[in-house]
Amino acid sequence: MIILASASSTRRRLLKAACIEFQAEPAFIDEDEIKRSLEAEQLSCRDIADCLAESKSTAVSRQYPGFLVLGADQILENEKMIVNKCSTEEMAFEQLKTLSGKSHKLHTAMVICKDGSPIWRHVTTSTLWMRELSDQFLSWYCSKAGETLTNSVGCYAIEGLGRHLFWKIDGDETAIQGLHMFPLMDFLRRHQEIPV
Protein backbone atom coordinates (compact mmCIF):
# COMPACT_ATOMS: atom_id res chain seq x y z
CA MET A 1 0.00 0.00 0.00
CA ILE A 2 1.16 3.53 -0.77
CA ILE A 3 0.13 6.84 0.78
CA LEU A 4 -1.28 9.52 -1.53
CA ALA A 5 -0.40 12.97 -0.18
CA SER A 6 -3.46 14.58 -1.73
CA ALA A 7 -7.15 15.26 -1.28
CA SER A 8 -7.70 15.24 -5.07
CA SER A 9 -10.67 13.10 -6.08
CA THR A 10 -9.22 12.81 -9.61
CA ARG A 11 -5.91 11.42 -8.35
CA ARG A 12 -7.77 8.97 -6.10
CA ARG A 13 -9.89 7.88 -9.08
CA LEU A 14 -6.78 7.30 -11.24
CA LEU A 15 -5.16 5.09 -8.58
CA LYS A 16 -8.40 3.15 -7.98
CA ALA A 17 -8.84 2.56 -11.73
CA ALA A 18 -5.36 0.99 -11.82
CA CYS A 19 -6.13 -1.17 -8.74
CA ILE A 20 -3.32 0.46 -6.76
CA GLU A 21 -3.90 0.09 -3.04
CA PHE A 22 -3.53 3.43 -1.29
CA GLN A 23 -4.58 5.60 1.60
CA ALA A 24 -5.18 9.32 0.97
CA GLU A 25 -3.64 11.71 3.47
CA PRO A 26 -3.69 15.37 2.39
CA ALA A 27 -0.55 17.41 2.93
CA PHE A 28 -1.12 20.55 4.94
CA ILE A 29 1.43 22.91 3.45
CA ASP A 30 1.14 26.56 2.44
CA GLU A 31 1.25 26.04 -1.33
CA ASP A 32 0.76 29.72 -2.12
CA GLU A 33 3.67 30.79 0.09
CA ILE A 34 5.95 28.10 -1.33
CA LYS A 35 4.94 29.06 -4.87
CA ARG A 36 5.62 32.77 -4.22
CA SER A 37 9.02 31.97 -2.74
CA LEU A 38 9.98 29.77 -5.71
CA GLU A 39 8.77 32.38 -8.20
CA ALA A 40 10.92 34.98 -6.40
CA GLU A 41 13.89 32.65 -6.93
CA GLN A 42 12.93 32.64 -10.64
CA LEU A 43 12.49 28.88 -10.86
CA SER A 44 10.84 27.58 -14.02
CA CYS A 45 7.18 26.57 -13.89
CA ARG A 46 8.28 22.95 -14.35
CA ASP A 47 10.62 23.14 -11.36
CA ILE A 48 7.97 24.83 -9.21
CA ALA A 49 5.60 21.91 -9.88
CA ASP A 50 8.38 19.50 -8.89
CA CYS A 51 9.18 21.40 -5.66
CA LEU A 52 5.50 21.54 -4.66
CA ALA A 53 5.08 17.80 -5.26
CA GLU A 54 8.19 17.16 -3.15
CA SER A 55 6.94 19.44 -0.35
CA LYS A 56 3.66 17.52 -0.16
CA SER A 57 5.30 14.11 -0.27
CA THR A 58 7.96 15.01 2.30
CA ALA A 59 5.45 16.51 4.76
CA VAL A 60 3.23 13.41 4.75
CA SER A 61 6.14 10.94 4.57
CA ARG A 62 7.38 12.04 7.99
CA GLN A 63 4.07 10.79 9.46
CA TYR A 64 4.29 7.38 7.73
CA PRO A 65 7.71 5.81 8.32
CA GLY A 66 8.50 2.92 5.99
CA PHE A 67 5.74 3.78 3.49
CA LEU A 68 6.07 5.09 -0.04
CA VAL A 69 4.34 8.48 -0.11
CA LEU A 70 3.25 9.99 -3.43
CA GLY A 71 2.99 13.76 -3.73
CA ALA A 72 1.84 15.44 -6.94
CA ASP A 73 1.25 18.91 -8.24
CA GLN A 74 0.39 20.66 -11.48
CA ILE A 75 1.38 24.07 -12.76
CA LEU A 76 -0.33 25.59 -15.78
CA GLU A 77 2.05 27.83 -17.73
CA ASN A 78 0.81 30.44 -20.19
CA GLU A 79 3.38 32.71 -21.83
CA LYS A 80 5.98 31.74 -19.18
CA MET A 81 3.63 32.78 -16.35
CA ILE A 82 1.83 30.60 -13.78
CA VAL A 83 -1.94 30.47 -14.16
CA ASN A 84 -3.55 29.93 -10.74
CA LYS A 85 -6.88 28.38 -9.80
CA CYS A 86 -9.85 30.71 -9.91
CA SER A 87 -12.05 31.39 -6.90
CA THR A 88 -15.20 32.51 -8.75
CA GLU A 89 -17.10 31.76 -11.95
CA GLU A 90 -16.42 35.32 -13.14
CA MET A 91 -12.66 34.85 -12.72
CA ALA A 92 -12.88 31.53 -14.57
CA PHE A 93 -14.71 33.20 -17.48
CA GLU A 94 -11.94 35.81 -17.79
CA GLN A 95 -9.15 33.25 -17.42
CA LEU A 96 -10.63 31.06 -20.13
CA LYS A 97 -10.96 34.13 -22.38
CA THR A 98 -7.24 34.76 -21.86
CA LEU A 99 -6.35 31.15 -22.76
CA SER A 100 -8.76 31.05 -25.73
CA GLY A 101 -7.12 30.46 -29.11
CA LYS A 102 -3.68 29.79 -27.58
CA SER A 103 -1.57 26.87 -26.47
CA HIS A 104 -0.46 26.44 -22.89
CA LYS A 105 1.72 23.97 -21.01
CA LEU A 106 0.66 21.81 -18.09
CA HIS A 107 3.51 20.54 -15.91
CA THR A 108 2.54 17.46 -13.88
CA ALA A 109 5.04 16.52 -11.18
CA MET A 110 5.13 13.41 -8.99
CA VAL A 111 7.57 12.76 -6.16
CA ILE A 112 7.72 9.65 -4.00
CA CYS A 113 9.35 9.90 -0.58
CA LYS A 114 10.22 7.25 1.94
CA ASP A 115 11.04 8.18 5.53
CA GLY A 116 11.00 11.88 4.66
CA SER A 117 13.42 11.69 1.72
CA PRO A 118 12.66 11.73 -2.02
CA ILE A 119 13.49 8.45 -3.76
CA TRP A 120 11.79 9.02 -7.14
CA ARG A 121 10.49 11.93 -9.18
CA HIS A 122 8.91 12.41 -12.57
CA VAL A 123 7.74 15.57 -14.34
CA THR A 124 5.71 15.49 -17.54
CA THR A 125 4.94 18.53 -19.64
CA SER A 126 1.84 18.43 -21.83
CA THR A 127 0.88 21.05 -24.39
CA LEU A 128 -2.80 21.84 -24.91
CA TRP A 129 -4.21 23.95 -27.73
CA MET A 130 -7.41 25.74 -26.76
CA ARG A 131 -9.78 26.59 -29.56
CA GLU A 132 -11.21 30.09 -30.04
CA LEU A 133 -13.99 30.36 -27.46
CA SER A 134 -16.94 32.70 -27.94
CA ASP A 135 -18.50 34.55 -25.01
CA GLN A 136 -21.68 32.56 -25.66
CA PHE A 137 -19.78 29.26 -25.39
CA LEU A 138 -17.92 30.44 -22.28
CA SER A 139 -21.20 31.38 -20.58
CA TRP A 140 -22.60 27.94 -21.39
CA TYR A 141 -19.40 26.18 -20.25
CA CYS A 142 -19.17 28.11 -16.99
CA SER A 143 -22.83 27.36 -16.21
CA LYS A 144 -22.27 23.61 -16.74
CA ALA A 145 -18.74 23.08 -15.34
CA GLY A 146 -19.66 23.59 -11.67
CA GLU A 147 -16.87 22.99 -9.14
CA THR A 148 -14.39 22.22 -11.93
CA LEU A 149 -14.08 25.97 -12.47
CA THR A 150 -12.55 26.52 -9.03
CA ASN A 151 -11.11 23.06 -8.24
CA SER A 152 -8.96 22.65 -11.34
CA VAL A 153 -6.05 24.68 -12.60
CA GLY A 154 -7.11 26.05 -15.98
CA CYS A 155 -10.80 25.69 -15.03
CA TYR A 156 -11.16 22.37 -16.83
CA ALA A 157 -11.17 18.63 -16.32
CA ILE A 158 -9.99 17.06 -19.59
CA GLU A 159 -11.82 13.82 -18.74
CA GLY A 160 -15.19 15.56 -18.87
CA LEU A 161 -16.67 18.79 -20.12
CA GLY A 162 -13.19 20.27 -20.50
CA ARG A 163 -12.77 18.35 -23.77
CA HIS A 164 -14.96 20.99 -25.41
CA LEU A 165 -12.24 23.61 -24.87
CA PHE A 166 -9.49 22.04 -26.98
CA TRP A 167 -8.76 21.19 -30.58
CA LYS A 168 -5.48 19.37 -29.86
CA ILE A 169 -3.45 18.00 -26.95
CA ASP A 170 0.09 16.67 -26.87
CA GLY A 171 0.53 14.61 -23.74
CA ASP A 172 -0.73 11.68 -21.74
CA GLU A 173 -4.33 12.12 -20.58
CA THR A 174 -3.62 10.71 -17.13
CA ALA A 175 -0.81 13.25 -16.72
CA ILE A 176 -3.20 16.02 -17.73
CA GLN A 177 -5.64 14.70 -15.11
CA GLY A 178 -3.01 14.82 -12.36
CA LEU A 179 -0.89 11.62 -12.30
CA HIS A 180 1.18 10.25 -15.18
CA MET A 181 0.22 6.64 -14.59
CA PHE A 182 2.64 4.72 -16.86
CA PRO A 183 5.91 5.89 -15.21
CA LEU A 184 4.25 5.71 -11.78
CA MET A 185 3.15 2.10 -12.31
CA ASP A 186 6.61 1.21 -13.60
CA PHE A 187 8.16 2.55 -10.38
CA LEU A 188 5.61 0.74 -8.20
CA ARG A 189 6.26 -2.55 -10.01
CA ARG A 190 10.00 -2.20 -9.38
CA HIS A 191 9.23 -1.68 -5.68
CA GLN A 192 6.79 -4.62 -5.45
CA GLU A 193 3.79 -2.39 -4.70
CA ILE A 194 1.90 -3.86 -7.68
CA PRO A 195 2.38 -7.22 -9.45
CA VAL A 196 4.99 -7.54 -12.18
Neighbours of 159 (CB within 10 A): 15
Closest by Cα among 130, 110, 119 to 178: 110
pTM of the model: 0.95
Domain residue limits, the chain = 2-190
Q: What is the percent of the chain where pLDDT is above 70?
A: 100
110 phi and psi angles, rounded to 5 deg: -130, 135
The catalytically annotated residue of 32, 47, 50, 73 is 73
pLDDT of residue 194: 82
pLDDT of residue 195: 83
> What's the maximum distance between 2 C-alpha atoms anywhere in the chain?
53
Closest by Cα among 116, 147, 112, 122 to 20: 112
pLDDT of residue 196: 74
pLDDT of residue 122: 99
Mean per-residue pLDDT of the chain: 96
Mean of pLDDT values over 138-157: 92
State yes or no: pLDDT of 193 exceeds 90. Answer: no
pLDDT of residue 106: 98
Assign 61 a pLDDT band (cuts: 50, 70, 90): very high
* DSSP collapsed to 3 states, 71-104: EEEEEEEECCEEECCCCCHHHHHHHHHHHCCCEE
Mean pLDDT lowest for which of 14-28, 163-177, 182-196? 182-196
Mean of pLDDT values over 172-182: 97
Mean of pLDDT values over 40-68: 97
Assign 65 a pLDDT band (cuts: 50, 70, 90): very high
Q: How far apart, in whole angstroms, are the C-alpha atoms of residue 72 and residue 111? A: 6
At the topology level, CATH places domain 2-190 in Maf protein (3.90.950)
Establish whether 115 is a catalytic residue. no
End-to-end Cα spacing for the chain: 15
